Amino acid sequence: MNTLHLKYVTEVAKTGSITAAAEHLYMNQPNLSKAIKELENSLGIEIFHRTSKGIVPTKKGEEFLCYAQNILAQVEEMEALYKSDKMNKVTFRISVPRASYISYAYTKFIANMDHTKELDLNFKETNSMATITDVAEGECHLGIIRYQKNYENYFLDYLRSKRLTYENIWEYRYMALMPKDNPLAMVENLSYEDLEQYIEIIHGDLVVPHVSSLELKKKMNPSERRIHVYERGSQIDLLNQIPRCYMWVSPLPAEQLNRYGLVQKSCNDADQIFKDVLIFPKGYHFSKIDKAFLQEVREVKTQIASCL
């Protein structure tokens, strides 16, 4: 067994098809089937079930795939350090929700790096289901997902099905973010009724397993006036240019509020609890660079929480 065998089985698990995996690996299907069969014989286990709907891992196969993915991740990390004598290269990939406090921590994380080294950094902001896919398929080493606590079972079941594990980062209630010149900025005890006549900015790709987007938005959003956005840049522009806008967000650092002329206010009716959760493959070994980023996230979170 070598790393090629590990790449073969992880690609088959990813695609659910010998044919598709062979195409992605630039090899013919019979050779790939033979290699997997030889690997199964050498291990004494069946890694995949062949079904009419495709190829799925067996229980033993799922265990083996966890080890295979972790070994490949560590090999990739070593190659990034030593390949072509590029010992100064720093590689980091993460998929996260559109959270200003996380992007703020990421900026601090980069600011504290040694900028004389070669950097290969990827910071992807997307919805939680896409993040789970990114981590499960090895596109990112780590991910952070966000969900309402009452949907936690859906997400944890899905993480288990993808052979991922998790650690809690933060549990909080959303804040209403708005410009300083929004009339609601002066309201002491904000309620949903106060917000009904204002324009809500909302991220348009909320996804929860087994729950329709319409049902989810109805539960989360009191306003019937909405602007759907899909990245954070436009939401800041809208908040700055349209005083009667607001947006539900995780708590922001004071420095960001001051920079953009915004205020964040708690709402008496906003009783939904949200969670931001770190996800990673089972048995994943955190690198020094992983730990540095997570430390920045925790420090920013603690700083914000102390001011609320």
List pLDDT tens digits, range 116-141. 888 889 999 999 999 998 998 888 88
**Per residue in 158-178, is it b (16+ CB within 10 Å) or e — as a string?**
bbeeebbebeebbebebbbbb
List pLDDT tens digits, range 261-279. 999 999 988 888 999 999 9
The sign of the dihedral angle between the CA atoms of 45, 49, 54, 57 is negative
214 band by pLDDT with thresholds 50, 70 and 90: very low
User: Which of 77-81, 248-252, 292-296 has the weakest average pLDDT?
Assistant: 77-81
Domain 3-79 has CATH 1.10.10.10: yes
Query: Which whole-number Å values give the CA distances from 130 to 124, 146, 198, 267, in the listed order?
Result: 10, 11, 30, 29
Whether the Cβ atoms of residue 72 and residue 6 lie closer than 8 Å to each other:
yes
**CATH topology (fold) of 88-308:** D-Maltodextrin-Binding Protein; domain 2 (3.40.190)
Average pLDDT, the chain: 85
For range 147-160, the mean pLDDT: 90
Its pTM stands at 0.72
Give the pairing type, strands 89-96 and 245-249.
unpaired
- The answer to whether 3-79 and 88-308 have equal CATH topology is no
Residue 80 pLDDT more than 80? Answer: no
Report which of 231, 239, 98 is spatially closest to residue 178, judged by C-alpha positions. Answer: 239
Would you kindly state where each structural domain of the chain is located, as residue ranges?
Answer: 3-79, 88-308
Residues 6+ apart with CB under 8 A from 183: 243, 244
Give the pairing type, strands 164-173 and 273-281.
antiparallel
Query: Which whole-number Å values give the CA distances from 273 to 25, 172, 268, 269, in the listed order?
Result: 44, 6, 13, 12
In this predicted structure, what is the pLDDT of residue 213?
44
Q: What percent of the chain clears pLDDT 90, i.e. is strictly above it?
A: 38
For range 211-229, the mean pLDDT: 60
In this predicted structure, what is the pLDDT of residue 234?
84
For range 205-224, the mean pLDDT: 53
Residue 87 pLDDT more than 60? Answer: no
End-to-end CA distance of the chain: 54
Q: In the chain, at which residue ranges do the beta strands (DSSP E only) sit?
A: 48-51, 54-57, 89-96, 118-125, 142-148, 164-173, 175-179, 199-203, 226-229, 245-249, 262-265, 273-281
**Per residue in 85-103, is it b (16+ CB within 10 Å) or e — as a string?**
eeeebbbbbbbbbbbbbbb
- 164-173 sheet: strands from edge to edge: 118-125, 89-96, 142-148, 273-281, 164-173
User: Which parts of 151-269 fold into alpha helices (H)?
Assistant: 152-161, 192-195, 213-220, 232-241, 254-260
And the tokens for 59? 């229980």
Residue 215 pLDDT more than 50? Answer: no
Whether the Cβ atoms of residue 126 and residue 95 lie closer than 8 Å to each other:
yes
